[in-house]
Amino acid sequence: MINRYFTLSLIVLFLQVHLKAQYSDMFVTKLTAVNRTSYTDVAYVGLKDTVLVSTFSGRISVRIKDLAKEKVIANLNDEIYSLAYNPTKREIAASTLENGIIIINKQNGQVVKKLPLRTTWSINIFYSDNYDYLLTHDQKGNRYIWAVKDNYGQIKLSSKMPAGRMIKMDSMGTLTIVTQNKLILWDFKRDSLIKETTVQITRFGDMDYQGNILSIDFNECSKYNSNLQKTEFVVKHPNWLRDIKDYPNYEKSLKESPQDFTPEGLLVMNGYSMQITAARFAKNRIYSASIDRSIRVWDKENGRLLNSLTGHKATVNKIKINSSETQMVSTDLKGGIKFWDIN
Tell me, what CATH number does 56's domain have? 2.130.10.10
Tell me whether residue 10 is in a domain.
Answer: no
Q: Do residues 102 and 230 share a domain?
A: no
Q: Do residues 209 and 336 share a domain?
A: yes
Q: Based on the number of CB atoms within 10 Å of its own CB, is 206 exposed (0-12), middle (13-18) or buried (19 or more)?
A: buried
Three-class SS state of 26: helix
Rg for the chain, CA atoms, rounded: 21
Q: Splitting the chain (343 residues) into consecutive groups of 10 residues, what average pLDDT does each group show?
A: 46 44 38 67 96 95 95 95 97 96 97 95 95 96 97 97 96 95 96 94 94 94 92 89 79 88 80 89 97 94 93 93 97 94 93
CA angle 57, 61, 66 (to 5 degrees): 125
Q: Do residues 137 and 71 share a domain?
A: yes
Q: Do residues 118 and 229 share a domain?
A: no
- Contact between 279 and 214 (Cβ < 8 Å): yes
Q: Do residues 104 and 213 share a domain?
A: no
Q: Do residues 99 and 232 share a domain?
A: no
> What's the pLDDT score for residue 2?
46
- Domains in the chain, number: 2
> What's the pLDDT score for residue 32?
44
Q: Do residues 209 and 150 share a domain?
A: no
Residues in a beta bridge with 134: 127, 146
Has this prediction a pTM greater than 0.75? yes
> What's the pLDDT score for residue 35?
67
Tell me whether residue 43 is in a domain.
Answer: yes
> What's the pLDDT score for residue 267?
84
Beta strand residue intervals within 257-309, DSSP E: 267-269, 276-282, 285-290, 295-299, 305-309
Q: Do residues 110 and 219 share a domain?
A: no
Q: Do residues 88 and 142 share a domain?
A: yes
Query: Distances in Å between the alpha carbon of 203 and those of 156, 181, 286, 306, 341?
Result: 27, 11, 16, 24, 27
Q: Which domain does 227 fall in, by range?
A: 203-238+273-343
Q: Do residues 216 and 332 share a domain?
A: yes
157, 190, 225 — which closes off a domain? Answer: 157
> What's the pLDDT score for residue 11?
42
Q: Do residues 340 and 210 share a domain?
A: yes
Q: Please, how many CA atoms are within 13 Å of residue 174, restricted to the half-sphere of its CB?
A: 11
- Contact between 69 and 62 (Cβ < 8 Å): no
